[in-house]
Structure 1
Amino acid sequence: MSESAMTEPAAQGELGTVVIGGGLAAAHCVHSLREGGYTKPITLIASENEVPYERPPLSKEFLQGNKQAQELEPFAADWYADTDVDLRLGVTAESIDTAAKAVSLGGSAPVGYENLVIATGCRSRLGGRNANMAGWDLPGVYTLRSLEDSKKIKEQLVSGKRLVIIGAGWIGMEVAASARTAGVEVTVITPDQVPLATAMGTEFGAHVAQLHIANGVQCRFGTAVSGIASDPEKGLVVQTPTGDIPADFVLLAIGAVPNNELAVAAGLEVGTGVVVDEYLRSSDSNILAIGDIAEAYNTTLGRAMRVEHWDNAIRQGKLAAATILGRDESYDWLPYFFTDQFDLGMEYVGDRGADDDVVVRGDMAAGEFVIFWLRQGVVTAAMNVNIWDVNDHLRSMIGKNIPVSTLQDTGNDLMTL
């Protein structure tokens, strides 16, 4: 933080900014406020007993033992103390009084605010579309949303153990790769015909499926799960129409639900998430929402969207700070995310539609390629797989009309395109 931001402490009883949440978006919001010269009080309320941390490594590096818990913290605990951020860990925000501009807390006095930032993230979806899955709460059945979840799963990653993963989205497939690398016997079950089909389409999904199968993952695609049961002899069994699948432990990875309850109870406008404008302000101008829960208006794409990814959490945390600081910035960037599974590394940028045309550049069988998505000849999204230092070039191609033959020709340098 700049010296000027520390020269004048906040006055006694002065209202400032309260942030609810302990993830990446919350951490970057308070950091950007202090770095931007904000001298008013800042209170960060986190329900977990952990210094705010990033979550992508929970299914990859941390789970594999390649990163320690403290390495997940974008800013160490000392930073919050040194910059006079009131970091309240293990504290639950129970309600928001918009008239009094105060947040009620479990076990302590309410905290008043001038600006409130909701960054409560998502929780795991437990069960099917309309009801909880039978057996979801049995011992040995896990979800993965928190550091504590990852620690518990990590303890189970013993060579020879049997893991059944229900769901084939990002978390499911990343945990499958991490567990298989540890020597665990892994079975992935999904009603979809290929993994990641909704997020990335069938071309890339089929490539990921082949990668996992080649690494010994048992894949039960097109298979529904009716429930989970405990058997005295077999341990856990995952029940499917084609028979029971025994497991030593089970991961439920069937999606996430935004933690919108505080916003709903406070009377804020809520759609797929807390509805906010391009500056991340909600229907109450004193309240912002960021990260996984924010259904924010994107000025580049001309529509509202909710994005559950690392890059978006960081950027929206910084944008919320800019809005509070009175700067003229808005939500104008394209979605970006990445994954690492076995020897596959991928980066994606853009906003593909389910009906967009797919153009592959390079050899998918060789494992190094780029996929473009086009709508009426215009590039809407692009993804580089095991080809590095090109994502910025791909980002600059979004929105341009580029002939398919030009995109496919590997003789054409991506920088020039």
Structure 2
Amino acid sequence: MRITGPSADGDTDLDAVRLYDPDFYATGEPHAVWAQMRRRGPAHLSTLPDGRYFWSVTRYHDVDNVLRDHTRFTSGRGTLLSVLGGTDPAGGKMMAASDPPVHTALRRPLSRVLSDRALRPHEPRIRAVVQRMLGPLLDGGVWDVAKAAAAFPMAFTGTLMGLPEEDWPRLARLTTSAVAPSDPGYRQTSRHSTLAAAHHDLFAYFSAQVRDRIRHPREDLVGSLVGLELDDRRLRHDEIVYNCYSLLLGANVTTPHAIASTILALIEHPGQWKRLLAEPSLTGSMIEEGLRWSSPASHFLRHAVHDLELHGRRILAGDAVVAWLGSANRDEEVFADPYRFDIARTPNRHVAFGLGPHYCVGAPLARIALRILFDVIVTSVEKFTIAGPIEHLASDFVAGIKSLPLTAQLSAAAARAIDATVTQHGPAS
């Protein structure tokens, strides 16, 4: 997604804005539109050409209320615009598409498995993966950080799920196809066929993984789901598959796009990059600002449980309500000077990982992985330079960059360490 400030033109016809069009997020200016919606239409109705419709909430506190209160806004009919007008078959089966008590029963054991303690033994391996990722920068080479970052979450999620490393590139591409089926780089014959094919391949893959864990039990995330009990019964096969899919999708959506967008922000704000190099202790707060700035998960969908009123608009039971996270993270009522990238911003109550019961269960892992990656980058790279066109992902769900070619000036010590790691382990896949 292109990140711009509010438009000086405050007369945009909000009814004409195609918030449901994935191309709008690749070539349009959604942040400028959201700024106007926060001022002029905080509860806005969008109607598609086929008659389907949804309400948008764009202010921070409204997004908070919609995502936090499952008694008024249910997740059980699906959580993404891609299911608008229908019902998600994973509703009530997948953690992301269920409400308490089902959601709570699924989340509690997964939270224990997805703790920072689970990832800690793998930190040296992940650090080596990051150094291998930086290999193309040696000798003045070009590194496409967006393409490299797309594969990065598999280094920790794939490891914790017990998925074979040779499968990681295919799984990373399939998950992107599932969230950006309209993007020219992923689309097959149509958006629908691309989405259907990606889901078929991912569900078939995890179905085989589940059968393998039943025959040969293993202590990994898939194995944990196989052994998980819900209401005094084991999860059914389809429930396990849906939740495997959800865990992988969640990891591959947030982390890679936060990486590319944060690095681009540091390049576009050289004073902030200079400060970070001088004060590497700010890496943690820089990561939080990068998450706010990029807001990789652009929206979450809910459905009204009963009739209600919001900002003078009547929302009926069953109506779809979209909470725009990227807009909430630029709300002037919550964030001072929200269009300023500030690596030391405090407080920073961003909603990049969602809010309430559905706050991202993998957020601790994502933060650890981002810290490892940026620790390596901050101690290795003295300067980044953009080396080619920037391409944004066409997706109404993921605010992503799919290509960001860079060159870099590396410190001599870092170059030697990267070269040694690449020589020992080979380049990143």
Please give the range of the TM-score, normalised by the shorter of the 2 chains: under 0.3
TM-score of the pair, normalised by structure 1: 0.27
More strand by share: 1
In the superposition, the TM-score normalised over structure 2's length comes to 0.27
The structure having more radius of gyration, on CA atoms, is: 1
More helix by share: 2
